[in-house]
C-alpha cells in the first residue's frame, strides 16, 4: 500500500532508485531518505528496540529519530548505525535494521519483551552480582549493542580537515536562518550559512507561501540575496558542537560512504537558527510503530509527498497540528482530532496500530500523530555556555543569558510563528538587539502522569519507561544526572533529543517540584554522531609522528641496511641482509674483535652557551659539572624535580662558557624544553643560550680494539687523548669534533661533523675498515654491546620512579654541595625506602635461551608478588651466554641470590649478578 502522493514534495519522480530493506526490494526517488522511501512503501517496522526488541517505526523525520537505525551496504562496503531519516537514498543501497534478526518485522529476540518486568532500570546491576559480574559480561555484551563494526579498515574512509573563519555564522537554513543570513550579508558582514539538509528551507517547505510569495520562490530569493551580498552557503553540513573560545565544529557531509570533512570555524558572531523538535506524549504503548511526531508527519508530507497513514488520530492541540490536519485532509487522509488531555490514553494493536483509546472512546487509527509541544534545539547554545530560561507559556526551556557573541532566533529562540520569527531574525542578522516576540499560543502541558497504567516510553532508543523513572525516584536517584546514569535515559546515540524533556518532567511530577527546579542534564557535543575518522583527519602514521631522518639515510639504503623506527628516528637496526638476530650477533662480535662503525647521529647535541652556562648545567645535572675542565667529558643524569632520572648522557665542556649535552636520541626535544624551562625560571636568560644542534651535526662512532688503528688511516690523531676527553680538530678541511667516550666498554671515539660532510666521512671510515675486518653495525648490535657492560637506556632500564642511587650513582646525592634539580627529592622517605627497585644483572646458564624482556621477578610464596622485572635481555656473542638487566626490589642486597622469573605462566631461575657482565675491570677501555 503506497502512501506516496502523485504530486508535490521535493523528490524527483523521474529518477527512481532501487534499494532493499531487510532483503526485500523497494523503490524510492531521488531526494528521498531511506526512511521516507520506506514510509511511502507502507513499511511500518523499521527497527527493534535496544532492550526489549519491541517493533519500532518512525517517530521523527530528521536528526531526532530514535528508532530507525540501520546498517547500510553500498558498493560492497557496509556502514553501521546509519540513521534512516538522515541517510539520503542512493540506488543499490542494502539497508538492514540493527538489533533485529532475521528482520525488523520478524525478530527472533522479540520474546524478550515478555520478560520486561525483570528488565527494569538497574536490572543488570542488581542481578549479575554473584559470584562475579565478569562471568555474565560476555553474554550480555553479545546481546547488547547496535550494529556491528566491520573489522576491515577502510583506507578510503578518511576525512579532510580545514580551518575557516567569517564575521557571522548562521546555523540553520530554515526561514529564520535564511532571513538572518540575508540581513547580515546585506549589512556588509562576511556570512557563512550552514544547513544540515542537502537543501535550504528547513520547515519552510511545509508552508505554501511565505510573506505572500510561493515558498520555493521565497527560498530562492533569499539564497540569491545572500550569495550576491557575498555570503557563503554550506548545505549538508552539520554544526555538531561549539567548543572553547567559540570554535564551531562543522561536519560537511559528502556522498554516502565518504567521511565528512571537518571544518574548524571561528566566527565573530554566531546566530543560532537551529529550529525546534516535537516532544513525544507519554501514554500507554506510545512506542508502537505508526506513532509519529506531528512535525515529522508535516516534513514527510512536504518534502517527500508521503502520508504518514490513511486513518489518522491527531493527538495534539498545537497550531502546527491545526495546519497539518488541514493539509492531511486535503491530501486524502481521514483525520480525527483527539485532545491529549483525555485520560487514560493508550495505543491499541501490536505490529500494526488499530486504534487510539482516549478515555472511554476508541478512535480507529492506523497512525497516531502526537505532539507534546515544541522543544527548541538549544544544544549548541549550551555547548557555548549559554543559560536556559523556563518559559511557562511555551512550556519549554528557551535561550536565556547568552554566551559571548551568540544570539538565537526563530524556533530555536521559542518563536514558532513564521512572521514574528522572520522579523526577529532580520533584526538579529542586521545586528540590532531585539526582544524575543511574545508567543501567540500558550501551550497546555501534557507531561507524563506518574502512577498511570500501562507501559509508557520515555526513551525509545534505550527502552526507558515511566516506571523506570519512578523506580529511580524510589531508589533516590532523583537528580537528573543520576536518573540519566541509573536508567540510561538520554544516553543512546540520539542523546535524548526526544526523551530528555519527558524524563525530567516525569521526575518533576513524581517529586512535585517545578520542571525548572529539576533542570536539564549537560548538553555535550557532538549534536549528532560523527565518525571518529573526522577528528583524526590525515593525522596518522607519518603525518601524525613524522620520523626523524638521518643525513646518511641514502648511504644506509644503498648498502641494504634494515631501517626501522627507533625512538622516533629512522635508523639502521642491522646492516647485513641475513636473519636479523644473527646479523646483530655477528655485528656485536665484530665490534668486540676488530672495530665497528655506528651512525650515532641521532644523539642529542644541545649546546649551552654563555657566562652563566657553567652554573646552569651544574644546577640541571645531578652530577657536579662545575669542576669539569674544558676539553673534558663527564657522564651524568638530569633529574626531574621529583628526583626521578629524566635523562642520561655525556656532557662535554668545549670552553669555559660552552657545553655540549649529548642527551638520549629519542629525548632531544624533551630535554631542550626541560632546559629552556629552567633557563627562564630562576636564571637570567640573557646570560644563558640554549641551541639544539642535533640535526646540524652527524655523529659517527668508531669502537673496538682496532678503533685507534682505523682512525690513524684517516690521519685523525688520537694520541694523548684520554678516555672522556674531547678535541676540536678538522678532517678533509672541515671542522670535526673528536670525542673519546664509550657506550660499548671498548675504546671508542665519536666523530661529529657537519651533516653535509657526513657521507664523505662515512665512506672514508668504511674504506679504512675493510682491511681491518671491521665494518658498520646497527643499533641492535649496539644494544647488546652496552647491555654486556650494564650501561642503561633511559626509559628501558629505568622507569618513572628510578632515582640515580637505584642505578649505583650515589655520590652526588651524598656529597654535592650546590643545589640541583631534584636534590631534595632524593632524601624523602620514599627515596630512602629499603625496598627500592635497583638495577641488577641476571645470569642464566649458558645454553639456555635469554630471559624474556618484561618477565616478572617474583617471590616464592604461595601467592607470589612481583619484585621487579627484566628490562633488557640478549644473547651475548662475546660471553657465549645470555645476559640480562633488571630492576629488582632491594636488588643490590640480593647479589648471588637465585630468583624466579615469571613470564606468561612459565617460570625460570636466574642468579642476581652485577649489571656489568663483561670486563668489569674496564681493561678493554684502553686496550
Partner 1 sequence: MQIFTCPFCGPRDEREFHFAAEAGKTRPDTTGEVSAETWAAYLHAQRNDKGRTREVWMHLPCAELFLMERDSVTMEVYATHPLRKAPQ
Q: Which stretches of the chain bind partner 1, using CB under 8 A?
A: 243-245, 247, 264, 266, 385, 641-642, 672-673, 676-677, 680-682, 685-686, 818-819, 823-825, 828-829
Residue 352 vs 691, nearer CB to partner 1: 691
Tell the smallest beta-carbon distance from residue 192 to partner 1 (Å): 18
CB 327 within 8 A of CB 298: yes
Residue with smaller CB distance to partner 1, 94 or 161 = 161
Region at 880 (left for phi over 0; alpha for psi -120 to 50; beta for the rest): left
Burial of 101 (0-12, 13-18, 19+ CB in 10 A): middle
Complex with partner 1: residue 680 or 732, whichever CB lies closer: 680
Q: Cα separation of 871 and 840, whole Å?
A: 10
Measured CA to CA, the distance from residue 158 to residue 449 in angstroms comes to 48
Which residue's CB is nearer to partner 1, number 522 or number 846? 522
C-beta of 511 vs 818, nearer to partner 1: 818
Residues 368 and 447: their CA atoms lie apart, in Å, by 18
- β-bridge mates for residue 739, sequence order: 726, 750
In whole angstroms, how close is the CB of 243 to partner 1 at the nearest point? 6
**Shortest distance, position 484 Cβ to partner 1, whole Å:** 23
Which position has the grid cell 665497528? 596
CA distances, 598 to each of 271, 309, 321, 567, 591 (Å): 62, 79, 81, 16, 10
Residue corresponding to grid cell 637505584? 806
Q: How far is the CB of 8 from partner 1 (least distance, A)?
A: 44
Distance CA(671)–CA(661), nearest Å, equals: 9
Residue 449 vs 624, nearer CB to partner 1: 624
The string of DSSP letters for 539-578 reads -SGGGTSPPEE-TTHHHHHHTT-EEEEETTEEEEEESSSS
Task: Please identify, using beta-carbon distances, which residue of 2 and 673 lies nearer to partner 1.
Answer: 673
Which residue's C-alpha cell is 506518574? 450
Q: Would you state the cell numbers that stand for residue 263, as one nine-digit string? A: 571544518
Question: Closer CB to partner 1, residue 109 or residue 824?
Answer: 824
Question: Euclidean distance between the first and final Cα of the chain, in Å?
Answer: 96
Output 385 or 631, the one with its CB closest to partner 1. Answer: 385
Q: How far is the CB of 163 from partner 1 (least distance, A)?
A: 9
Counting every residue written for the chain, the total comes to 927
Least Å distance, CB 674 to partner 1, is 11
Residue closer to partner 1 by CB (options 198, 247) is 247
CA-closest candidate to residue 393, choices 406, 371, 374, 412: 374
In this structure, are strands 689-692 and 569-574 parallel, antiparallel, or unpaired? Answer: unpaired
CA pair distance 421, 410, nearest whole angstrom: 5
Instruction: State the burial class of residue 787 (Cβ atoms within 10 Å of its Cβ: 0-12, 13-18, 19+).
Output: buried
- Is residue 42 classed as helix, strand or coil in its secondary structure? coil
Considering the complex, state which of residue 106 and residue 243 has its C-beta at the smaller distance from partner 1. Answer: 243
Dihedral of alpha carbons 605, 606, 611, 616, sign: negative
Supply the minimum distance, in Å, between the C-beta of residue 203 and partner 1. Answer: 32
Centre a 10 Å sphere on the Cβ of residue 514 and count the other Cβ atoms it contains. 10
Beta carbon of residue 31, minimum distance to partner 1 (angstroms, whole number):
36
Minimum separation from the CB atom of position 811 to partner 1 (A):
17
CA distance 427 to 764: 78
By beta-carbon proximity to partner 1, the closer residue of 685 and 854 is 685
| Backbone torsion region of residue 844, taken as left when φ is above 0, otherwise alpha when ψ lies between -120 and 50, otherwise beta | beta
Indicate the residue among 222 and 679 with the shorter CB distance to partner 1.
Answer: 679
Q: Which is nearer to partner 1, 623 or 913 (CB)?
A: 623
Least distance between partner 1 and beta carbon 824 (Å): 5
CB of 584 to partner 1, least distance (A): 36
CB of 687 to partner 1, least distance (A): 11
Gap between the Cα atoms of 927 and 919, Å rounded? 11
Pull the grid cell for residue 569: 628516528
What is the rounded CA–CA span in Å between residue 565 and residue 556? 14
Cβ 425 to partner 1 shortest distance, Å: 28
Smallest distance from partner 1 to CB 283, Å? 42
CA nearest to 913, candidates 790, 751, 769, 782: 790
Amino acid at each position: 500500500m503506497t502512501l506516496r502522493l502523485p504530486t508535490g514534495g521535493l523528490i524527483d519522480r523521474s529518477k527512481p532508485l532501487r534499494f532493499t530493506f531487510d532483503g526485500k526490494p523497494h523503490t524510492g526517488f531521488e531526494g528521498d531518505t531511506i526512511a521516507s522511501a520506506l514510509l511511502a512503501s507502507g513499511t511500518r517496522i523499521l527497527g527493534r528496540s535496544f532492550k526489549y526488541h519491541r517493533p519500532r517505526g518512525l517517530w521523527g523525520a530528521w536528526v531526532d529519530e530514535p528508532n530507525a537505525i540501520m546498517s547500510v551496504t553500498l558498493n560492497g562496503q557496509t556502514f553501521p548505525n546509519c540513521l534512516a531519516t538522515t541517510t539520503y537514498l542512493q540506488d543499490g543501497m542494502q539497508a538492514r535494521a540493527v538489533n533485529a534478526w532475521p528482520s525488523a518485522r520478524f525478530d527472533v529476540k522479540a520474546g524478550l519483551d515478555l520478560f520486561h518486568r525483570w528488565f527494569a532500570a538497574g536490572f543488570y546491576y542488581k542481578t549479575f552480582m554473584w559470584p562475579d559480574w565478569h562471568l555474565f559480561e560476555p553474554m550480555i555484551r553479545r546481546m547488547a549493542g547496535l550494529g556491528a563494526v566491520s573489522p576491515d579498515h577502510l583506507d578510503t574512509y578518511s576525512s579532510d580537515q580545514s580551518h575557516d573563519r567569517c564575521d557571522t555564522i548562521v546555523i540553520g537554513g530554515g526561514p529564520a536562518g535564511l532571513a538572518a543570513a540575508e540581513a547580515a550579508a546585506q549589512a556588509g558582514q562576511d556570512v557563512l550559512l550552514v544547513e544540515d539538509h542537502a537543501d535550504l528551507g528547513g520547515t519552510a517547505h511545509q508552508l505554501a507561501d511565505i510573506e505572500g510569495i510561493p515558498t520555493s520562490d521565497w527560498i530562492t530569493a533569499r539564497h540569491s540575496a545572500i550569495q550576491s551580498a557575498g555570503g557563503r552557503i554550506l548545505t549538508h553540513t552539520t554544526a555538531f558542537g561549539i567548543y572553547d573560545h567559540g570554535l564551531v565544529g562543522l561536519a560537511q557531509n559528502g556522498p554516502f560512504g565518504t567521511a565528512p570533512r571537518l571544518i574548524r570555524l571561528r566566527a565573530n558572531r554566531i546566530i543560532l537558527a537551529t529550529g525546534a523538535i516535537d516532544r513525544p506524549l507519554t501514554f500507554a504503548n506510545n512506542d508502537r510503530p505508526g506513532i509519529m511526531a506531528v512535525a515529522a508527519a508535516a516534513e514527510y508530507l512536504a518534502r517527500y509527498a508521503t502520508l504518514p497513514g490513511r486513518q489518522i488520530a491527531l493527538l495534539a492541540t498545537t497550531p502546527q497540528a491545526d495546519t497539518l490536519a488541514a493539509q492531511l485532509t486535503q491530501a486524502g487522509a481521514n483525520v480525527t482530532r483527539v485532545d491529549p488531555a483525555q485520560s487514560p490514553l493508550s495505543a491499541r494493536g501490536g505490529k500494526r496500530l488499530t486504534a487510539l483509546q482516549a478515555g472511554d472512546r476508541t478512535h480507529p487509527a492506523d497512525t497516531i500523530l502526537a505532539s507534546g509541544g515544541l522543544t527548541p534545539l538549544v544544544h549548541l547554545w549550551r555547548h557555548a555556555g549559554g543559560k536556559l530560561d523556563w518559559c511557562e507559556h511555551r512550556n519549554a526551556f528557551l535561550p536565556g543569558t547568552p554566551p559571548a557573541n551568540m544570539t538565537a532566533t526563530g524556533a530555536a529562540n521559542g518563536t514558532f510563528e513564521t512572521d514574528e520569527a522572520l522579523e526577529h531574525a532580520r533584526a538579529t542578522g542586521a545586528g540590532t538587539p531585539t526582544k524575543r516576540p511574545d508567543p501567540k499560543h500558550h501551550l497546555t502541558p501534557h507531561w507524563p502522569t506518574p502512577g498511570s497504567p500501562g507501559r509508557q516510553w520515555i526513551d525509545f532508543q534505550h527502552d526507558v519507561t515511566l516506571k523506570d523513572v519512578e523506580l529511580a525516584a524510589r531508589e533516590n536517584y532523583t537528580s537528573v544526572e543520576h536518573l540519566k546514569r541509573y536508567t540510561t535515559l538520554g544516553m543512546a546515540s540520539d542523546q535524548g533529543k526526544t526523551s530528555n524533556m519527558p524524563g525530567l518532567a516525569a521526575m518533576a511530577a513524581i517529586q512535585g517540584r517545578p520542571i525548572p527546579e529539576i533542570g536539564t542534564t549537560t548538553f555535550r557535543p557532538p549534536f549528532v554522531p560523527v565518525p571518529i575518522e573526522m577528528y583524526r583527519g590525515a593525522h596518522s602514521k607519518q603525518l601524525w609522528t613524522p620520523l626523524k631522518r638521518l643525513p646518511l639515510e641514502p648511504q644506509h639504503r644503498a648498502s641494504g641496511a634494515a631501517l626501522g623506527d627507533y625512538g622516533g628516528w629512522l635508523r639502521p637496526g642491522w646492516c647485513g641482509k641475513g636473519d636479523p638476530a644473527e646479523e646483530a650477533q655477528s655485528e656485536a662480535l665484530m665490534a668486540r674483535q676488530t672495530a665497528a662503525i655506528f651512525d650515532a647521529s641521532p644523539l642529542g647535541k644541545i649546546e649551552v652557551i654563555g657566562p652563566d652556562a657553567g652554573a646552569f648545567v651544574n644546577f640541571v645535572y645531578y652530577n657536579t659539572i662545575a669542576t669539569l675542565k674544558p676539553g673534558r667529558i663527564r657522564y651524568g643524569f638530569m633529574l626531574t624535580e621529583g628526583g626521578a632520572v629524566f635523562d642520561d648522557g655525556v656532557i662535554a665542556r668545549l670552553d669555559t662558557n660552552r657545553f655540549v649535552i649529548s642527551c638520549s636520541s629519542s629525548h632531544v626535544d624533551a630535554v631542550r624544553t626541560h632546559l629552556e624551562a629552567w633557563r627562564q625560571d630562576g636564571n637570567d636568560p640573557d646570560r644563558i643560550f640554549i641551541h639544539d644542534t642535533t640535526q646540524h651535526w652527524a655523529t659517527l662512532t668508531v669502537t673496538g680494539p682496532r678503533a685507534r688503528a682505523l682512525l690513524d688511516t684517516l690521519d685523525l690523531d688520537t694520541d694523548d687523548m684520554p678516555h672522556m676527553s674531547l678535541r676540536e680538530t678538522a678532517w678533509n678541511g672541515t671542522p670535526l669534533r673528536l670525542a673519546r667516550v664509550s657506550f660499548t666498554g671498548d675504546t671508542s671515539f665519536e666523530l661529529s661533523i657537519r651533516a653535509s660532510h657526513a657521507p664523505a666521512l662515512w665512506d672514508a671510515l668504511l674504506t679504512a675498515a675493510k682491511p681491518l675486518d671491521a665494518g658498520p653495525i646497527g643499533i641492535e648490535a649496539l644494544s647488546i654491546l652496552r647491555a654486556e657492560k650494564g650501561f642503561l637506556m633511559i626509559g628501558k632500564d629505568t622507569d618513572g620512579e628510578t632515582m640515580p642511587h637505584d642505578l649505583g650513582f650515589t655520590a652526588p646525592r651524598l656529597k654535592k654541595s650546590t643545589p640541583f634539580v631534584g636534590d631534595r627529592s632524593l632524601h624523602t622517605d620514599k627515596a630512602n625506602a629499603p625496598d627500592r627497585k635497583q638495577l641488577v644483572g641476571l645470569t642464566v646458564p649458558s645454553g639456555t635461551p635469554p630471559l624474556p624482556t618484561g618477565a616478572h621477578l617474583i617471590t616464592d610464596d604461595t601467592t607470589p608478588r612481583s619484585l621487579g622485572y627484566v628490562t633488557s635481555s640478549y644473547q651475548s656473542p662475546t660471553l657465549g651466554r645470555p645476559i640480562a638487566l633488571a630492576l629488582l626490589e632491594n636488588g643490590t642486597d640480593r647479589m648471588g641470590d637465585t630468583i624466579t622469573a615469571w613470564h606468561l605462566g612459565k617460570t625460570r631461575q636466574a642468579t642476581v649478578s652485577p649489571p656489568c657482565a663483561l670486563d668489569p675491570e674496564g681493561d678493554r677501555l684502553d686496550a
